[in-house]
């Protein structure tokens, strides 16, 4: 055996050794009925053509490599943002294993979440007994102060009624009557992870405030509520808090998983850490107003906040890039009456300085990007502020109104004149786009690495490098700690983008005596 206890090798490079090459070749030749390599290459080449792209874009009843995830994933993230709260998913155990591993691989943290593990009998007779046992066990074993319930496809297909099940569980004494069990139906065959976040958040604020509005008065606590939406950059929670603290604006971040997703390794396991408290949620209607950082994905929340809390909840853009961070801070200033301090004005000036320094390298660079609706919009806007062109803009989980708004934003800049917006499309569509109209880079989550590999397979000149900004990022470490919002986020994104451009230029110009006339020390 080429594997040796004194010299343990991982699969790469181990599988490159002759013994493994022979084994794999034998398996392929004798058991896999592999097509001839020429045929594979022929089909590969065809999938990179304009003809194939047109067929690909006619695809209706099939998603390949979705650029979104399912609803309960979002509801779990939302629930993790509340103090001592256990996310509870009514449905199949495998779904919950998927949610936990998905976050676990992205955040490199343990993710607490329970399921009531419905199986075949529950799928036929309904999952009420699972709910009763599950709530009781969860409360006794993990001792949360709140259990936030959402559903998987299976529970939704058979039509389980969460309200009735939870009430029956309480009436039968499985959990105390006054024990908080907010819930949200999160059918995964509609919407996406962002819808699930919105549904769960609305479920939680509904639970704590809907029937308790008599003594509430808008503005009486002097605060501003901030609702992040499905947000996986820990730096974004931190930068929003920092900016508001610098402005000395009293605020509450409603759903704040920043601590539980970043616990220290000091010998103590923290199942719960930080988060918005129940009292803060009860008090939220007393705030002066509520700002939704990602309004395109917070439709239900917006409606509830306006109709029940009677907050204006003014429409703001995601605070990404220069102008939209300006807008955010000015809106906060307007609501709170607090001026924007010199510290933030200076930070802004530093960002403008950085943008000017890098402009020559960013100008005219073409980017393909995908992700959630607000992120994609903010990223496109920032690219145009840098003089770059968001050529292919793809969003799997937005609506037609978003597309119209996105196109209107593109029309405001000459850098948006060659852009195309693709709504409800997936990463297999994106693959066709980058083969037929090559951008310089892609911006998106880790799944884009397979598109990059395919473009390289076609030939070096076709390769489109991936810049990892988005969710999930499984194959690089610690990027989730970064910041994409505020001036600080814009600085970090610009640093990432411009250095990707320069790295690429170095790659292309280090050919000895061919291209190295431009392999410069100073860029």
Verify binding: residue 158, ligand SF4, rule CB under 6 A.
no
Report the DSSP beta bridge partners of residue 168: none
Angle at 73 between CA 147 and CA 475, to 5 degrees: 130
Output the DSSP codes for 96-107.
HHHHHHHHHHHH
> Are 263 and 236 within 8 A, CB to CB?
no
x/- mask, ligand SF4, residues 437-456, rule CB under 6 A, reads --------------------
> Are 440 and 368 within 8 A, CB to CB?
no
Interface residues for ligand SF4 in 176-215 (CB under 6 A)? 188
Cβ at position 137, least distance to ligand SF4 in Å = 21
d(CA 404, CA 296): 12
Verify binding: residue 95, ligand SF4, rule CB under 6 A.
yes
Chain centroid offset of residue 440 CA: 23
Verify binding: residue 427, ligand SF4, rule CB under 6 A.
no
Cβ at position 179, least distance to ligand SF4 in Å = 25
CB nearer to ligand SF4: give 48 or 151: 151
Q: Which of 70, 95, 157, 498 is catalytic?
A: 157
Verify binding: residue 52, ligand SF4, rule CB under 6 A.
no
Provide the 8-state DSSP code for 276. Answer: B
Cβ at position 69, least distance to ligand SF4 in Å = 8
> Are 262 and 284 within 8 A, CB to CB?
no
CB nearer to ligand SF4: give 52 or 98: 98
CB nearer to ligand SF4: give 92 or 221: 92
Tokens encoding 484:
């994409």
CB nearer to ligand SF4: give 73 or 135: 73
Verify binding: residue 276, ligand SF4, rule CB under 6 A.
no
Provide the 8-state DSSP code for 252. Answer: E
Verify binding: residue 153, ligand SF4, rule CB under 6 A.
yes
CB nearer to ligand SF4: give 68 or 174: 68
Compute how many other C-beta atoms are within 10 angstroms of the C-beta atom of residue 366.
Answer: 19
* Cβ neighbourhood burial of 91 (10 Å; 0-12, 13-18, 19+): buried
Compute how many other C-beta atoms are within 10 angstroms of the C-beta atom of residue 31.
Answer: 8
d(CA 396, CA 427): 9
For ligand SF4, which residue of 79, 152, 276, 290 counts as binding (CB under 6 A)? Answer: 152
CB nearer to ligand SF4: give 98 or 428: 98
Q: Which of 124, 138, 153, 464 is catalytic?
A: 153
Tokens encoding 175:
């959990």
Cβ at position 426, least distance to ligand SF4 in Å = 15
157 tagged catalytic? yes
> Are 355 and 385 within 8 A, CB to CB?
yes
For ligand SF4, which residue of 15, 20, 52, 98 counts as binding (CB under 6 A)? Answer: 98
For ligand SF4, which residue of 72, 87, 228, 235 counts as binding (CB under 6 A)? Answer: 72
For ligand SF4, which residue of 67, 70, 146, 253 counts as binding (CB under 6 A)? Answer: 70
CB nearer to ligand SF4: give 153 or 322: 153
d(CA 476, CA 473): 6
CA within 13 Å, CB half, 215: 3
For residue 91, give the nearest of 124, 118, 69 by alpha carbon.
Answer: 118
138 tagged catalytic? no
CB-based contacts of 255, cutoff 8 Å, min separation 6: 78, 81, 82, 201, 204, 227, 228, 275, 276
Provide the 8-state DSSP code for 338. Answer: P
d(CA 491, CA 52): 39
CB nearer to ligand SF4: give 111 or 433: 111
CB nearer to ligand SF4: give 72 or 235: 72
Cβ at position 191, least distance to ligand SF4 in Å = 11
Verify binding: residue 274, ligand SF4, rule CB under 6 A.
no
Cβ at position 195, least distance to ligand SF4 in Å = 12
Cis peptide before 472 (omega within 30 of 0): yes
Cβ at position 70, least distance to ligand SF4 in Å = 3
Verify binding: residue 157, ligand SF4, rule CB under 6 A.
no
How many of the chain's residues bind ligand SF4 (CB under 6 A)? 7
Cβ at position 93, least distance to ligand SF4 in Å = 10
What backbone torsions phi and psi does residue 166 show, to the nearest 5 degrees? -70, -40
Catalytic residues: 153, 157
Residues that bind ligand SF4 (CB under 6 A): 70, 72, 95, 98, 152-153, 188
């Amino acid at each position: 055996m080429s594997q040796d206890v004194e010299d343990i090798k991982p699969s790469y490079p181990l599988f490159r050794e002759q013994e493994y090459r022979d084994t794999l070749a034998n398996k392929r030749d004798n058991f896999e009925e592999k097509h001839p390599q020429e045929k594979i290459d022929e089909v590969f080449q065809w999938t990179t053509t304009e003809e194939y792209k047109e067929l690909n874009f006619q695809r209706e009843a099939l998603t390949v490599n979705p650029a979104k995830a399912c609803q309960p994933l979002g509801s779990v993230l939302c629930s993790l943002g509340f103090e001592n709260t256990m996310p509870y998913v009514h449905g199949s155990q495998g779904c919950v294993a998927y949610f936990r591993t998905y976050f676990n691989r992205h955040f490199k943290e343990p993710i607490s979440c329970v399921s009531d593990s419905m199986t075949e009998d529950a799928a036929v007779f309904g999952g009420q007994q699972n709910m009763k046992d599950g709530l009781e066990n969860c409360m006794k074993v993990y001792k949360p102060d709140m259990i936030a319930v959402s559903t998987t496809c299976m529970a939704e297909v058979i039509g389980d009624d969460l309200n009735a099940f939870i009430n029956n569980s309480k009436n039968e004494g499985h959990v105390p009557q006054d024990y908080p069990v907010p819930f949200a139906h999160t059918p995964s065959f509609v919407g996406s992870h962002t819808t699930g976040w919105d549904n769960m958040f609305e479920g939680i604020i509904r639970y704590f405030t809907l029937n308790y509005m008599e003594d509430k008065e808008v503005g009486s606590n002097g605060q501003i509520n901030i609702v992040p939406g499905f947000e996986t950059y820990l730096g974004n929670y931190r930068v929003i808090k920092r900016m508001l603290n610098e402005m000395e604006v009293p605020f509450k971040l409603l759903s704040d998983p920043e601590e539980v997703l970043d616990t220290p390794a000091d010998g103590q396991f923290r199942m719960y850490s930080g988060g918005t408290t129940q009292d803060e949620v009860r008090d939220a209607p007393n705030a002066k107003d509520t700002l939704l950082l990602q309004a395109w994905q917070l439709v239900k929340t917006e409606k509830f906040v306006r109709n029940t809390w009677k907050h204006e909840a003014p429409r703001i853009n995601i605070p990404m890039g220069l102008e939209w961070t300006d807008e955010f801070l000015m809106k906060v200033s307007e609501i709170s009456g607090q001026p924007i301090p010199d510290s933030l004005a200076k930070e802004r000036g530093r960002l403008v300085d950085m943008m000017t320094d890098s402009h020559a390298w960013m100008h005219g660079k073409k980017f393909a990007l995908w992700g959630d609706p607000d992120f994609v919009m903010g990223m496109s806007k920032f690219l145009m502020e840098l003089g770059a062109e968001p050529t292919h803009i793809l969003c799997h989980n937005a609506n037609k109104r978003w597309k119209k708004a996105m196109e209107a934003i593109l029309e405001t800049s000459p850098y948006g004149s060659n852009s195309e917006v693709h709504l409800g499309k997936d990463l297999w569509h994106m693959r066709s786009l980058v083969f037929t109209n090559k951008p310089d880079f892609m911006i998106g989550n880790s799944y884009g690495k397979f598109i990059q590999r395919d473009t390289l397979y076609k030939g070096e000149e076709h390769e489109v490098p991936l810049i990892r900004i988005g969710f999930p990022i499984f194959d690089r470490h610690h990027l989730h700690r970064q910041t994409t919002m505020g001036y600080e986020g814009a600085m970090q994104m610009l640093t990432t983008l411009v250095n990707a451009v320069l790295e690429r230029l170095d790659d292309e110009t280090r050919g000895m005596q061919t291209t190295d006339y431009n392999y410069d020390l100073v860029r």
